[in-house]
Chains A and B, each alone.
Chain A
Amino acid sequence: MFGKNQLDPDSRFRNYSDLVIKTCMLAGKIMIENGSEMTRVNDTIKRIARNAGMPNLKTYITITGIMISVNDNSETQITEIDKRAFDLRKITAVNDLSRRFAEHKTTLEQFYQELQHVSDLDTYFPYWMKILSAAILSGSIEVVFRGDYSVFFITCVIGMLGWIIFDYLNRIVKVEFINEFTAAISIGMLAMLARKLGLGSGVDNMIIGGVMPLVPGVQITNAVRDLMSGNLVSGPARAMEAIMGACALGFGVALALKWFG
């Protein structure tokens, strides 16, 4: 009947639909892991499927997992998402790849190959530049919000140290929210210390500026966008994440104020 190396048409079709599912799943996984909003993920997956010739692919996307099935007898697949970070480079990379695929500049196989390398992409900016931007962000936000020029430099230093602590803990500890909490306590303590040493009097201004690089702005924006698009599973989940992050920061600052204020 069939030669040894010759696949029957049914299994060849199954291989292709498998590849489509795998590609969609990986693209979705990368986007959710790096902080994309759900409508965007859904849109990208549907677009890839349409361009691959499978317009009736069904997806169910939540913040912790994706299910995809093709509308025939091939099986449904599930993937889990357990880490969430914020790296807009990877989202942009997936976007670019999907765009190239839509313009028929790559094949599905190449697309899948390149997607697998996206999660290895490094940051654009060296570590010292991130530290520097955390510092300048703290200082300039303090000036914008409060207009207190006298504590600009000390706010820069406090914000920088807070961000270094946060980033370091983020790498070694696998518990969420405790990083924000610890960093917030440190920022509060550093601000009090700065006042004790006579480096500036506006403790409030220093803390507001210093906490700014850690504020969960991305989560809040995403929560609002998800809720607006009617995603009642992921919207509240993201909102909860944002509120927990904000509360961790707040309690950290409040504790520091209580102990040392």
Chain B
Amino acid sequence: MDIEFLVKVIGVYVATLCFAILINVPPRALNLGGLVGVASYLVYLTYNSIFGGYVGGNVFGAFTIGILGMLAARYKKMPIIVFNIPALVPLVPGGQAYEVMKYIATGNTHLAFVYLMQVAMIAGALAIGFLLAELAIQLFFHVTHLFKSFVS
């Protein structure tokens, strides 16, 4: 395992934790929130190293956040939002958004537009990922409900 990867994973955990502290997440949710963040970032990295591109990784990252956030919320009996919001921090397109601003400020509108499209695509990808997670959860409950009524 190379050291750069390890540093990134630790960085994601610490960043998620720190953001959670800034929005006053209860202490008993901090560790689990950090782990959700790390897991989604690992999914994102894995997808990126296999397929590349910047959309698919974000879709699956957000999907992981949705599923794990729901599980964590059930386990800790807390609102889902407590786990979802900090975990999203490593996936937010902050770098690209900055490039948009930089190129607008320096007058290079063509490059600004290129990056703006990337920001929009990533934001959309995150939304789709959450949507898919919601779909998977509701489908799961529907199927288990059907199964239960079928058995009894």
Point out the residues of chain B lying under 8 angstroms from A40, CB to CB: 79-81
Interface residues of B in 78-132 (CB under 8 A from A): 78-82, 84-85, 88-90, 92, 94-95, 97-98, 100-102, 104-106, 123, 126-127, 130-131
Point out the residues of chain B lying under 8 angstroms from A91, CB to CB: 79, 81-82
Point out the residues of chain B lying under 8 angstroms from A129, CB to CB: 21
**Distance (Å) between the CB of B135 and the closest chain A CB?**
10
Point out the residues of chain A lying under 8 angstroms from B80, CB to CB: 40
- CB within 8 Å for A92 and B79 given contacts A220-B123, A221-B88, A254-B102: yes
In the complex, the answer to whether B26 meets A88 with C-beta atoms within 8 Å is yes
- CB within 8 Å for A133 and B18 given contacts A143-B11, A250-B97, A254-B101: yes
Main secondary structure of the interface of B (DSSP, over half): helix
Task: Count residues on chain A whose CB falls below 8 Å from chain B CBs.
Answer: 54
- CB within 8 Å for A253 and B101 given contacts A92-B78, A124-B26, A130-B21: yes
Q: Does B27 contact A (CB under 8 A)?
A: yes
In the complex, the answer to whether B94 meets A208 with C-beta atoms within 8 Å is yes
Interface residues of A in 79-107 (CB under 8 A from B): 86-89, 91-92, 95, 99
Point out the residues of chain B lying under 8 angstroms from A30, CB to CB: none
**Distance (Å) between the CB of A222 and the closest chain B CB?**
8
Kindly name the residue among A133, A136, A140 whose own CB sees the greatest number of chain B CB atoms within 10 A.
Answer: A140
Interface residues of A in 129-183 (CB under 8 A from B): 129-130, 133-134, 136-137, 140-141, 143-147, 163
- What's the Cα separation between A83 and B23 when bound, in Å? 16
Q: Does A204 contact B (CB under 8 A)?
A: yes
Q: Does A234 contact B (CB under 8 A)?
A: no
- What's the Cα separation between A213 and B82 when bound, in Å? 17
Please list 30 pairs of residues, one from A and one from B, whose beta carbons are closer than 8 Å in the complex, sorted by A's number.
Answer: A35-B23, A88-B82, A89-B24, A89-B25, A89-B26, A92-B78, A95-B78, A95-B79, A99-B77, A125-B21, A130-B22, A133-B22, A134-B22, A140-B10, A141-B11, A141-B15, A141-B94, A143-B11, A144-B11, A145-B94, A147-B4, A163-B22, A204-B98, A204-B102, A217-B89, A220-B92, A224-B126, A250-B104, A254-B105, A257-B101
Chain A to chain B: the 4 pairs with minimum beta-carbon distance, closest first: A133-B18, A254-B105, A137-B18, A140-B11
New A-B pairs, 19, CB < 8 Å, besides A88-B81, A143-B7, A215-B92: A40-B80, A87-B24, A89-B26, A91-B79, A129-B21, A136-B15, A140-B14, A140-B18, A141-B11, A144-B41, A144-B90, A207-B98, A212-B15, A220-B92, A228-B127, A246-B97, A250-B97, A250-B104, A254-B102
